[in-house]
Amino acid sequence: MSHYDVIVIGSGAGGGTLVRHLAPSGKRVLLLERGGWLAREPANWDAHAVFVDNRYVSADTWYDDRGRPFQPQVHYFVGGATKLYGAALYRLRAEDFGDLRHHGGISPAWPIGYEEMEPYYTLAEQLYEVHGARGEDPTEPPASADYPFPAVSHEPRIQQLADDLAAAGLHPFHAPCGVRLNERDMPHGHCVRCATCDGFPCLVHAKSDAEVLCVRPALERSNVTMLTEAEAVRLETGPDGRAVTGVVVDRGGERETFTGDIVVVSCGAANSARLLLASASEAHPAGLANGSDQVGRNYMFHNSQAVLALSKEENPTVFQKTLGLNDFYFGAPDFDHPLGNIQMVGKSSADMYRGEKPLQTRLAPQRSLDAVARHAVDFWLSTEDLPDPGNRVTLRDDGSIQLRYTPSNEVPKQRLLHQLKSMLGQLGMHHDHLVPRHAYLKNDIPVAGCAHQAGTCRFGADPASSVLNTDCRAHEVDNLYVVDTSFFPSIGAVNPALTAMANALRVGDHLLDRMGAPRPERTVIQHVA
From candidates 49, 81, 308, 386, binder to ligand FAD by CB under 6 A: 81
CB of 212 to ligand SF4, least distance (A): 10
Strand partners, 303: 383
Among 319, 405, 440, 481, binds ligand SF4 (CB under 6 A): 319
- Strand 254-265 versus strand 480-482 pairing type: parallel
175 scored as a contact of ligand SF4 (CB under 6 A): no
Asked whether position 246 contacts ligand FAD by CB under 6 A, the answer is no
Of residues 495 through 514, those in contact with ligand FAD by CB under 6 A are: 495-498, 500
Tell me whether residue 266 or residue 383 sits nearer to ligand FAD (CB atom).
266
Measured from the CB atom, the residue of 130 and 162 that comes closer to ligand FAD is: 130
CB of 343 to ligand FAD, least distance (A): 8
Closest CA to 324 of 380, 273, 268: 380
Is the Cβ–Cβ distance between 236 and 244 less than 8 Å?
yes
Q: How many of the chain's residues bind ligand FAD (CB under 6 A)?
A: 42
Residue 305 touching ligand FAD (CB under 6 A): no
Q: In whole angstroms, how close is the CB of 158 to ligand SF4 at the nearest point?
A: 14
- Closest approach, Cβ 164 to ligand FAD, in A, equals 24
| The only residue of 27, 103, 207, 473 in contact with ligand SF4, by rule CB under 6 A | 207
CB of 148 to ligand SF4, least distance (A): 16
Residue 35 to residue 78: CA distance in whole angstroms: 6
13 near ligand FAD, judged by CB under 6 A = yes
Q: Which does 286 bind (CB under 5 to 8 A by kind): ligand SF4, ligand FAD, none?
A: none
Nearest to 505 by CA among 41, 100, 120, 86: 120
Considering only 3-11, 19-27, 306-314, 474-482, which stretch makes contact with ligand FAD by CB under 6 A?
A: 3-11
Residue 271 contact partner, candidates ligand SF4, ligand FAD, none, CB within 5 to 8 A by sort of partner:
ligand FAD
Q: Rounded to whole angstroms, how far apart are CA atoms 318 and 48?
A: 17
69-70, strands of its sheet edge to edge: 69-70, 62-63, 401-404, 392-395
Alpha carbon distance 90, 498 (integer Å): 6
Closest CB 318 distance from ligand SF4, rounded Å:
8
**Which three-class secondary structure string do you get for 228-254?**
CCCEEEEEEECCCCCCEEEEEEEECCE
What is the spatial distance between Cα 155 and Cα 321, in angstroms, rounded to a whole number?
10
- In the shown chain, the binding pattern of residues 397 to 436 toward ligand FAD, with x for contact by CB under 6 A and - for none, equals ----------------------------------------
Amino acid of residue 463: P
Find the binding residues for ligand FAD in span 150-209 (CB under 6 A): 199
**Among 379, 484, 506, 512, contact with ligand FAD (rule: CB under 6 A):** 484
- In the β-sheet with 429-437, what is the strand arrangement from edge to edge? 173-174, 323-325, 341-344, 376-383, 303-311, 429-437
Note the residue count of the chain.
529
* DSSP secondary structure code for residue 104 in this structure: T
Residue 14 within binding range of ligand FAD, rule CB under 6 A: yes
For ligand FAD, give the closer residue by CB, 103 or 456: 456
Considering only residues 374 through 413, tell me which ones interact with ligand SF4, judged by CB under 6 A.
none
Out of 94, 192, 280, 332, point to the residue binding ligand SF4 (CB under 6 A).
Answer: 192
Residue 179 interacting with ligand SF4 (CB under 6 A): yes
By CB under 6 A, is residue 213 in contact with ligand SF4?
no
Is the CB of residue 10 less than 8 Å from the CB of residue 80?
yes
Instruction: Choose from ligand FAD, ligand SF4, none: what does 28 bind? Cβ within 5-8 Å by kind.
Output: none
* Closest residue by Cα to residue 152 from 184, 124, 120: 184
3-class secondary structure, 257: strand
Q: 265-284: which residues touch ligand FAD (CB under 6 A)? A: 266-268, 271, 275
Pairing of strands 392-395, 105-107: unpaired
132 binds, among ligand SF4, ligand FAD, none (CB under 5 to 8 A by kind): none
The CA-atom distances, in angstroms, between 215 and each of 342, 510, 523 are 31, 20, 20
* Cα 89 to the center of its chain, rounded Å: 9
Classify residue 173 by its DSSP letter.
E
What are the C-alpha distances in Å from 346 to residues 149, 178, 401, 439, 512? 21, 14, 30, 10, 38
| Alpha-carbon 56 to chain mean position | 16
Q: Interface with ligand FAD by CB under 6 A: which residues?
A: 9-15, 32-35, 73, 75-77, 80-82, 84-89, 199, 231-232, 266-268, 271, 275, 440, 451-452, 484-485, 495-498, 500
